[in-house]
């Protein structure tokens, strides 16, 4: 089965390329067209979502700095960044892809093929999911038509419009297993797992991964039960049944668990523990038994059930 990795493109493709080719602390305001910005704009900020950019804008080919000068209607994806806190934004990785192409002279998709993952358009089509909130936000923010759906293009509207950096790669389970081995061996996750920025809702970002806390209902609570020892694991959960709800999230995230992670909008997830270099890739689709798009809690339940099954096998 083939999976759209969505935002797992960020830690598996874009962040390693940025860490390999780009200076982290040079001011890129002028290069990226942000001539009226008062503060520096650096690769470090883009990797940690600490740039102050809003979560999302449609990819229409217009320079991002010009796009951001226009007012947009209210929508969670179109809102401003939270002052003083890192705001998760696809736009950060769009700009990283622009910098990478300018620095290397190579198209982003071609650069990303070194990851061992498959750039779109894909020869195999993943299980499709309905359009998400990005389709509504697209219509609010631009008169440009929504990019047509195609089973061999990403589910994300920006990615299928051609926006590089934040999505657009896919994989099978065996392919991901092969790709994770050199990703770990090269030390990329260690370089990403460096606490850099405090984010919204208590999130703590590194340079491409975020901390998994150990509080009730947090993924770190579950993963902390895995005994020490290295290993690369790819868990595939293509089932479309409705799992039981995941434990309620406690108001306090708890202390760091020692794990770092990233989630993909379409369902997949990536977890890494620097202390023993254990890595877990979780592949599933954000599609419920009735064919509809799973909401955030139903998706958390799917991920929780798959991880709990693996934790039970690992801990005996």
Task: State residue 316's pLDDT score.
Answer: 56
The single-letter DSSP state of residue 177 is H
Q: Which residues contact 179 (CB under 8 A, 6 or more apart)?
A: 12, 115, 116, 117, 171
Decide: residue 148, CB within 10 A, 0-12 exposed, 13-18 middle, 19+ buried: exposed
- For residues 63-85, give the mean pLDDT: 95
Q: Can you tell me the distance from the alpha carbon of 232 to that of 173, in angstroms, rounded to the nearest whole number? A: 12
pLDDT in tens, 268-301: 999 999 999 999 999 999 998 888 999 999 999 9
Beta bridge partner(s), residue 278: 231, 273
User: What integer pLDDT is reported at residue 60 of this predicted model?
Assistant: 95
83-95 pLDDT, tens digit per residue, is 999 999 999 999 9
pLDDT tens per residue, range 5-57: 999 999 999 999 999 999 999 999 999 999 999 999 999 999 999 999 999 99
**pLDDT score at 313:** 86
| Distance from chain centroid for Cα 285 | 15
Query: For residue 261, is pLDDT > 90?
Result: yes
pLDDT digits (tens, 9 = 90+) for 232-254: 999 998 776 888 999 999 989 99
The residue extents of the domains of the chain are: 2-169, 171-315
């Amino acid at each position: 089965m083939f999976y759209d990795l969505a935002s797992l493109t960020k830690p598996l493709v874009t962040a390693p390329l940025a860490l390999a080719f780009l200076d982290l602390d040079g001011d890129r305001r002028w290069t990226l067209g942000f001539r009226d910005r008062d503060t520096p704009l650096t690769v470090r900020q883009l990797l940690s979502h600490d740039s102050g950019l809003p979560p999302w804008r449609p990819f229409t080919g217009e320079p991002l700095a010009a796009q951001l000068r226009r007012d947009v209607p209210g929508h969670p994806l179109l809102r401003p960044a939270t002052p003083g806190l890192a705001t998760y934004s696809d736009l950060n990785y769009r700009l990283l892809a622009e910098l990478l192409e300018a620095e290397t002279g190579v198209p982003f998709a071609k650069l990303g093929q070194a990851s061992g993952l498959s750039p779109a358009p894909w020869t195999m089509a993943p299980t499709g999911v309905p359009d998400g909130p990005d389709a509504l936000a697209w219509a609010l923010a631009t008169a440009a038509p929504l990019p047509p759906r195609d089973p061999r293009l990403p589910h994300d509207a920006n990615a299928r419009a051609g926006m590089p950096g934040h999505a657009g790669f896919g994989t099978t389970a065996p392919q991901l297993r092969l790709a994770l081995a050199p990703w770990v061996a090269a030390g990329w996750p260690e370089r990403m797992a460096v606490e850099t920025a405090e984010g919204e809702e208590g999130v703590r970002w590194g340079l491409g991964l975020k901390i998994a806390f150990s509080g009730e209902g947090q993924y770190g609570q579950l993963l902390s039960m895995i005994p020490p020892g290295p290993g690369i694991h790819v868990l595939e959960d293509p089932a479309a049944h409705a799992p039981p709800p995941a434990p309620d999230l406690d108001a306090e995230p708890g202390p760091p668990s020692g794990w770092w992670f990233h989630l993909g909008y379409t369902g997949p997830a990536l977890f890494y523990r620097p202390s023993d270099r254990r890595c877990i890739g979780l592949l599933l689709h954000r599609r419920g038994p009735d064919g509809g798009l799973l909401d955030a809690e139903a998706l958390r339940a799917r991920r929780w059930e798959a991880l709990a099954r693996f934790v039970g096998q690992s801990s005996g």
